Amino acid sequence: MPYDFDLFVIGGGSGGTRCARISATHGARVGVAEERFWGGTCVNVGCVPKKLMVQAAEYGQWAEDARGFGWHIVKGGHDWKDFIAAKDEQIDRLKNIYKTMLQKAGAHEFEAHVRFIDPHTLDIGGNRKTAEHIVIATGGTPRRPVCIGAELAGTTDDLFYLPERPKSIAIIGGGYSAVEFAGVFAALGTKVHLIYRQPLPLRGFDGDMREAVAEALAAQGVSLHHGVLLSKIEAEREGRFVHLSDMTKLHVDYVVMTTGRVPNTHDLGLEAAGVALDDKGAVRVDEGGHTNVPGIYAIGDVTDRLNLTPVAIAEGHALADTLFGQKPRTASHRNVPTAVFTSPPLSTVGLTEEEAARRGATDIYLSRFRPLRHIMTGRNRHTVMKLVVDQASQKVLGAHMLGEDAGEIMQGLAIAIRMGATKQDFDSTIGIHPTAAEEFVTMRTRSRVAGVADEAAAAE
């Protein structure tokens, strides 16, 4: 039986649109549906508008810092409404670009909810269409923890559309979004309470970096409530009362849950197609994105593997090449660089010290300094840089940095680490002076040995 489409993609986010567009350029008949907004989470309520918010916050800090360089700038108040309007204009522009790219590639767009009827048949807003291959690329949605009064809190999606900037805010969580929004709102003038259950924020990141981020947040005036749980939220005429497990009671204008995201697999009719989910509701896939049902695939955050926009894009492109480009391949999840846009930003690639030490003897090189810029400005801000090196082979297993332009610097280091660069390769590279980045090629003195090290080496 002939199908209506060679490929149908459910979800018009970064990964889904890349898969659809590349497949169409390979000559496939492609359909793609988006129910909410083209560009998905990243473009609309994720990395793009969040980066714009970070940059908005930085301008105020730069105005303050300018005095250290002889500029006497009078810093006015931040106009939240003007910023949100400008942000929305840019997001609309990007959404249109996504649609235009699909149209130029020849893909057919549908703005509708999609449900499986069987493994090759879909209900698309009330119309039935068939496809030989179907890709699930529906991303994730904010998770709201269960507690008394949870409905009184917003989610990260809501922060991008607040009509007014709150004067005080309680941020529940210690992950990417939590620390990023804490820095943003603090820099814009909001009193911020960051509440998380771990001893340090950013669980899973390198321990030294986690400590450095906590210090940087505190230096910005963020109140850190660590090792505690949210007990309940109560409405109050002019805000919210937040009760914590250590009996602390906070009064704030707004509460936001930044406690992670869950795969968006609800109401897709996956049971009708027989698609298997894991215990967290994520679609089970193999390395190439294949589900347990032949002809059905999943990419991006809906698989809950490595939830980063560039990873979803890489998975979508690889799947398109495999299915229609006669270039079978998979997207690598090894040594994927990432950045957390705190103030200053954190960026990392490869193994943490803790991960490397579990594998064996590891040499640690750590540098902490106050950048020349902030010796001039007087701002209490430090840069922390770290290399994690396998002691036997001297291969650099991981690089980590908290400091200005960390993400820009780490992108280049990611190439070197993926290629297997050694510490000697770093040492023999001439630094660019004066920059912070040169510190990565001038760290000569080992700070410590981690893991199962030989005693003589550890004693050096």
| 273-329 pLDDT, tens digit each | 999 999 999 999 999 999 999 999 999 999 999 999 999 999 999 999 999 999 999
Q: Please list, in sequence order, all residues whose beta carbon lies within 8 angstroms of the beta carbon of residue 241, skipping any fewer than 6 positions away.
A: 233, 234, 235, 249, 250, 251
Question: Taking the mean position of all CA atoms in its chain, how far away is CA 357?
Answer: 25
**HSE-CB for 355 with a 13 A CA cutoff:** 14
The CA distance from 342 to 240, in Å, is 26
Average pLDDT in the chain: 96
What would the two tokens of residue 314 be?
């890489």
Q: Looking at the predicted structure, is the pLDDT value of residue 78 above 50?
A: yes
Instruction: Output the pLDDT for position 422.
Output: 98
For position 237, what pLDDT does the model report? 84
CA dist 158 and 391 (Å) reads 47
Homologous superfamily (CATH) of 5-142+262-324 is: FAD/NAD(P)-binding domain (3.50.50.60)
Name residue 118's beta-bridge partners.
121
pLDDT of res. 144: 87
Is there a shared CATH topology between the 5-142+262-324 domain and the 150-259 domain? yes
**Which token pair is 42?**
């990243």
Q: Is the pLDDT of residue 403 over 50?
A: yes
* Lookup: tokens for 221: 């005036």
DSSP-assigned letters across all residues of 111-180: -S-EEEEETTEEEETTEEEEEEEEEE---EEE-----BTGGGSEEHHHHTT-SS--SEEEEE--SHHHHH
Tell me the pLDDT tens digit for each residue of 121-178. Answer: 999 999 999 999 999 999 999 998 889 999 999 999 999 999 999 999 999 999 999 9
Q: Label residue 237 exposed, middle or buried (CB < 10 Å: 0-12, 13-18, 19+).
A: exposed
CA distance 452 to 111: 56
What CATH topology corresponds to 338-459? Enolase-like; domain 1 (3.30.390)
Eight-state DSSP code of residue 280: T
Radius of gyration of the chain (CA): 24
| Cα separation, 334 vs 351, whole angstroms | 10
pLDDT beyond 70 at 269: yes
Is the Cβ–Cβ distance between 283 and 302 less than 8 Å? yes
Structure tokens at 241: 């009362």
Name residue 368's beta-bridge partners.
Answer: 384
Query: Is 445's pLDDT higher than 90?
Result: yes
pLDDT digits (tens, 9 = 90+) for 222-237: 999 999 999 999 998 8
Residue 27 contacts residue 151 (beta carbons within 8 Å): no
pLDDT value at position 452? Answer: 72
Cis, bond preceding 166 (omega within 30 deg of 0) = no
Contacts of 211 (CB under 8 A, 6+ apart): 200
DSSP string computed for 317-356: HHHHHHHHSS-------TT--EEE--SS-EEEEE--HHHH
CA 138-37-22 angle, to 5 degrees, is 60
pTM over 0.75: yes
The pLDDT value recorded for residue 1 is: 65
Question: Is 150-259 in CATH node 3.50.50.60?
Answer: yes
Mean per-residue pLDDT, 234-251: 95
| Residue ranges covered by each domain of the chain | 5-142+262-324, 150-259, 338-459
Q: What is the mean pLDDT of residues 11-37?
A: 97
H or E stretch covering 449: strand 448-450
Q: What are phi and psi of 446, to 5 degrees?
A: -65, 135
Query: What SS3 class is residue 182?
Result: helix
Please report the pLDDT score of residue 172 as a whole number.
98
**Catalytic site positions:** 433
Torsion of CA 262, 268, 269, 274, to 10 degrees: -60
**Residue 198 pLDDT > 70:** yes
Give the model confidence (pLDDT) of 247-262 as tens digits. Answer: 999 999 999 999 999 9
pLDDT bucket at 455, cuts 50 / 70 / 90: very low
Largest CA distance in the chain: 75
